[in-house]
Amino acid sequence: MLIPSTLKIYNASAGSGKTFFLVKNYLYVLLKSPYPDEFKRVLALTFTKKASEEMKKRILQCFKEFSNKKVKEEYSSLFENLTKDLRLSKHQLYERSKKILFSILHDFSSFSQNTSTIDKFTYNIVRSFILKKEKNLELEMDTNRFLLNVVENLLYRLKDSKKWSNILVQFSLEKLKKGKNWDVRKELFKIANLMLKENNFFPIKEIKSHSLEEFIQLKNSLIRRTQKFEKQCNIQGEKFFLFLRETSIEKNLFLHSDLPRLFRKFQTKNIFFNPFNERLEKHIQKRVFYSKNSRQKNQKILIERNQENIISLYEETKSIYKKNISCYLLDKILLKNINILSIVHEIEKEFNFLKNEKKIFLNAELNKILYERILQEKFPMIYEKIGTEYKYYFIDEFQDISFLQWSNIRILVENALSENGSAMIVGDPKQSIYRWRGGDAKQFIHLINYKSFFYKKDFKSLDTNFRSYEEIVKFNNLFYQSISKIFHSNTYRNIYQNSKQKIFKKNGGYVEINFLKKKDKDYKEYIYFQVKNKIKKLLKQKYVLSDIALLVRNNKEGHFLSEKLVEDGINVNTSVSLLIKNHLEIQIIINLLYVIANPHCYQKRVSLIFLLLKHKFIRSKKNHHDFIMEIIFLPLDLFLTKITSKNSLSLDKLYNKSIYNIAEEIIEVFGLLNKQNIASIYSFLDLIYRFMRNSENSIFDFLSYWESKKEKESIMISDHKNAIRVMTIHKSKGLQFPVVLLPFTDWDFFSKKKEEGWIDVNPYLYNGLNTIYLKIESYLQRIKHDKKIRNFYESYLLNTAFENINLLYVATTRSIEQLILFSKLENEKSVSFYIKNFLRERKIWNEQKYKYCFGKEKKNS
């Protein structure tokens, strides 16, 4: 009987040489084997394509160097370590390296396929085993576009259904009453998107097991139950005020008016938020109902004579409230969302219809497809071949892997361990920043602590920072020790308390924290002014632009900085570059396409005329209002003639032309193309070209496509060798830069973005449902009288805070030599608050001081 192998788990903090460590262990496995094609039995999975390409590149480079008799100095240490660990002579390692490299190059497709992202690995399994019968199926990556089609088709199909029309109209009216957007398309898109998110896989599966009729029954049951409780509350309120009338007690005599206020809330059914308060409870316990200084003796006597009846009514009311409130709150929350949840079945039908019609399957579904197939068999047949094919597993960035991804891979890992294979998992909970797409650091923590009966575990930390200089490592060690105190959860607190790193690059490094005190209106401009000055200073210190990275929380901040830098003639390489929708020439083209597609859309005509007048593409001696009124209602052909007086744009010129040609015609007629906007024009034309490859030549379809793409489509900037990099913190993960600037280190710890969640309920009370959907909104923090909802909301806050600290950790650990932070001084509910708190703990905070330095700044050369 084989003795199970050990699962090796490594906690790899930022800069700890994780990629090098994985490559070294990968090389060890291949060089230990006498077979040069052993790489075919090794599966190395990473989270991003960038990481997998980096790993492949390093592996090949190492074998290339080891295949030379004279190993370069930078590879000599690794070469020496491997000869020692493998107990091989230098000549033996050299010979094996040559054979392995030769074998890899002659079957590079196997090597490349076996060192890939988790998503690609899942896709290959789904394509090879599950979809092999459907050879014509294509993978659809553009989920948003697909969902927009689903929503439009669904509304068209349901408009003639009396049953669904009533539900959709009712839903829109409910939204309208609350002063919210009543357009049901937006909500249908949200629920369709919700259905595709991995985080919602199990709850949505539960929802889909209930029919529309069952939801209608449940809704009626909830309405009856909530109305019954509200009526009970109303009765208790009426009882109190009837009692006052019968006993002639004046309500204004009661101390603080707390008691009459409580029963007024019950009378008016205002009981969603806890109407009881501690002050009233203390007065009831102490039998204190009125002020001692009160001169109304007759009233005092009346209250004293009836105080037991008052207390009895109070306790009776409190008992009714406590007994029913938990169920009532959940009922009211579910009633808010039940109409839209009941349509899940219809969305699912439309999903399947469109997928079959277009012969596609969605990238967002891959993990779910594989997981559901695995559930059908104890050891699925689809894994029989893979189980024998791979013996060694390397899994990187484990903290970002979703539950479904790990569930789909675990069966292979455990099988390999049971057959004397090996598995290595590397991750860092502090760098878990993909919760929105299913990543969960708790999964990594659970893996460490969970005891398996099938294999052993060996947990170690890689705790030396090889990236950053001493002062940066020291700052981060101290800062995250301080910030760990915000967590009440030991799990999260310990992650940061135990995160202290050892220093490899001693002597050097510089950290600078700048607090800016400016009004919100000027804040972004003022930040940029400070950033630009800092860049000039860094250039005087003999850094070049490509040494500097600006990391931002979101694309909006990145777009702002990129545009300002480009305006000032500073070269930029960025993944969040200038959005093409913000450029004048694109706005003119889009507005004109809207006018051509819908000649009676006078709002678009007005927008177009204003743009043309403002930027002097057309001139008029009349004032703008009179000119607009003169031409706005003209027939389309005449309208086009009036706004293109120099080079007339007529319908004849546009007739039977492709969208691409129409766009070119508009560009030529208005003379939109010049040296300054060449990038935005060609980026837009490239967007049209991509659309036309997969769609019909319809302006309507293109404009719909544009609406789904305009918040992401950016200018294609040529790759300058010497340029500042502007990118989101998410994109910077795994990278390093000599100098990192964080211009907006002041984001809220508790996201303002509305999220959704699922809360467990008693299925006996909810017609078999064991979980219900709720939107996480600020009002939930006021519900402190229900343990279930309170715990749910506190868990959400905890996870959000943890993710935001992780974002900060990723950002502050990218720099090698200098880390520069800019933050708001006033903001007390953000990252800046915890930076200030850290400075207070270090006893260096000064209300009049706006700049704090750690280490020595480089002198100007």
Is residue 381 included in any domain, yes or no?
yes
Estimate the share of the chain in helix, then strand, then coil, as percent rounded to the nearest 5.
60, 10, 30
- Could you tell me if 309 and 179 lie in one domain? yes
Amino acid symbol at 325: I
How many structural domains is the chain composed of? 5
Is residue 474 included in any domain, yes or no?
no
| Average model confidence (pLDDT) across the chain | 86
Contact 143, 152 (CB under 8 A): no
Per-residue model confidence as pLDDT tens digits over 74-86: 899 999 999 999 9
- Could you tell me if 662 and 742 lie in one domain? no
Per-residue model confidence as pLDDT tens digits over 460-501: 999 999 999 999 999 999 999 999 998 888 888 999 988 899
Contact 373, 24 (CB under 8 A): no
Instruction: State the average pLDDT over residues 86-112.
Output: 94
- Could you tell me if 311 and 199 lie in one domain? yes
Percent of the chain whose pLDDT exceeds 90? 38
- Could you tell me if 383 and 397 lie in one domain? yes
pLDDT at 618: 80
- Could you tell me if 46 and 166 lie in one domain? no
- Could you tell me if 842 and 699 lie in one domain? no
Q: Is 21 left (phi over 0), alpha (psi -120 to 50) or beta?
A: alpha
Is residue 351 included in any domain, yes or no?
yes
- Could you tell me if 815 and 796 lie in one domain? no
- Could you tell me if 573 and 603 lie in one domain? no
Per-residue model confidence as pLDDT tens digits over 381-423: 777 777 788 999 999 999 999 999 999 998 889 888 888 889 9
Q: What is the DSSP letter of 666?
A: H
Is residue 796 included in any domain, yes or no?
yes
Is residue 365 included in any domain, yes or no?
no
- Could you tell me if 447 and 508 lie in one domain? no
The last residue of a domain, from among 709, 729, 764: 709
The last residue of a domain, from among 302, 329, 358: 358
- Could you tell me if 690 and 549 lie in one domain? no
pLDDT at 481: 94
- How many CB atoms lie under 10 A from the CB of residue 54? 16
Instruction: State the average pLDDT over residues 572-583.
Output: 73
Give the span between the Cα atoms of 283 and 254, in whole angstroms: 10
- Could you tell me if 173 and 304 lie in one domain? yes
pLDDT at 1: 43
pTM of the model as a whole: 0.83
Which range scores top for mean pLDDT: 9-23, 114-128, 182-196? 9-23
Is residue 148 included in any domain, yes or no?
yes
Give the span between the Cα atoms of 736 and 751, in whole angstroms: 27
- Could you tell me if 584 and 573 lie in one domain? no
pLDDT at 716: 59
Is residue 599 included in any domain, yes or no?
yes
Is residue 62 included in any domain, yes or no?
yes
The last residue of a domain, from among 358, 389, 413: 358
Give the span between the Cα atoms of 138 and 354, in whole angstroms: 13
Percent of the chain whose pLDDT exceeds 70? 90
Q: Say whether pLDDT at 172 is over 70.
A: no
Give the span between the Cα atoms of 465 and 502, in whole angstroms: 6
Show the domain range for 25: 6-131+376-462
At residue 503, φ and ψ (nearest 5 deg) are -100, 130
The string over 775-808, giving b where at least 16 C-beta atoms fall within 10 Å of a residue's C-beta and e elsewhere, is ebeeebeebebbeebeebbeebebbbbbbbbbbb
Q: Residue 397's domain is classified under what CATH number? A: 3.40.50.300
pLDDT at 177: 53
